[in-house]
Structure 1
């Protein structure tokens, strides 16, 4: 779905203009996104298998919930909206624990360049996996994996191919922050 997004400079500051997401991707312009990682107190992380019809990384495993921040939309409100849309879970903005903003550039093709600043949050998952409702157009599957298994698979050249290739620093930060809370 195309939507209006705010355009950022290379430092992540708002430029005062908004374009359609497709235009931002086509021109390689920076824009804000949200990443929300759900964890359980017993050391598991919720991962999402991207939908088979996604333009980028179809069927690879990724962050629990992710999405674009709408033009003029508050970052936390965007995260809450994306969570409800993608996994059917209602949370409060106060449930979000922000761990950072990560700059990411992924050139998929000449006409699809993701230049994003991921506003990244952790949230404790307080319901069972069965109580989540996948957004069929976005999410192929959801599963819980132990922090140990996730870390081992990311460190294995063959097994890591099933995950979206975020930077190793990004994944290391996520794992370190989840370990503090789980």
Structure 2
């Protein structure tokens, strides 16, 4: 993995420095992240299955895409960049909410992130980058809720943490768009 730097932040998302991405995850330090949810016109969520050789959570289902802003990059630009890089989609994303979490991963890494969550609605089909994702599907919120109850181990920890907030924010998002 190349030496990509991420933005370290405090609990109010104020930058405190920068550090290499893998080191941040090894040390469990709080850093800025982005999470993207794309919905189709039926309000089904575009899920991706992370490529099996990713350095963590490979083969697990997750939100449309996620990642980290580079130092000096806005969260908006980072979210739109990651959507292009992972799913081959160029969409105007809207910031919807922020949250913080500290989640252990199975390989000794930690996702300690201050996350900025973005939404978009589009019927465009993804053109996945095979280094990032190896499958996708559109799925209703209700079907995802059932699948999580039956097999939560099929999903990334951050998806399990953010997904319960999605229905309420989706209702507000669609009402305002």
Q: TM-score range by the shorter chain?
A: 0.7 to 0.9
Measured after TM superposition, the shift of residue 137 of structure 1 is 0.9
Show the counterpart of 2:51.
51
Show the counterpart of 1:171.
163
Show the counterpart of 2:93.
96
Q: Which moved more, 1:164-173 or 1:39-48?
A: 164-173
- Tell me the SS of whatever aligns to 2:145: helix
Measured after TM superposition, the shift of residue 175 of structure 1 is 2.2
Give matches, 1:1-182, under 5 Å.
1=1, 2-15=3-16, 17-91=17-91, 95-108=92-105, 112-127=109-124, 129=125, 132-154=126-148, 156=149, 158-166=150-158, 170-180=162-172, 181=174
Output one character per residue of 1:64-107: Cα deviation in whole Å (capped at 9) or x when no partner: 0111111111110001100110011112xxx3222211112122
RMSD between superposed Cα atoms in Å = 2.1
Quick one: structure 1 residues 49 and 167, their matched pair in 2 at CA, closer, same or farther if it must change by over 3 Å? closer
**In 2, Cα distance between equivalents of 1:149 and 1:112:** 29
Q: Aligned pair count?
A: 173
**In 1, Cα distance between equivalents of 2:106 and 2:161:** 24
Runs of 4+ off more than 6 Å: none
Unaligned runs of 5+ in 2: none
**In 2, Cα distance between equivalents of 1:169 and 1:105:** 10
With normalisation by structure 2, the TM-score equals 0.87
Quick one: structure 1 residues 168 and 140, their matched pair in 2 at CA, closer, same or farther if it must change by over 3 Å? closer
Unaligned runs of 5+ in 1: none
8 Å CA contact 1:39–1:178 kept in 2: the answer is no
With normalisation by structure 1, the TM-score equals 0.85
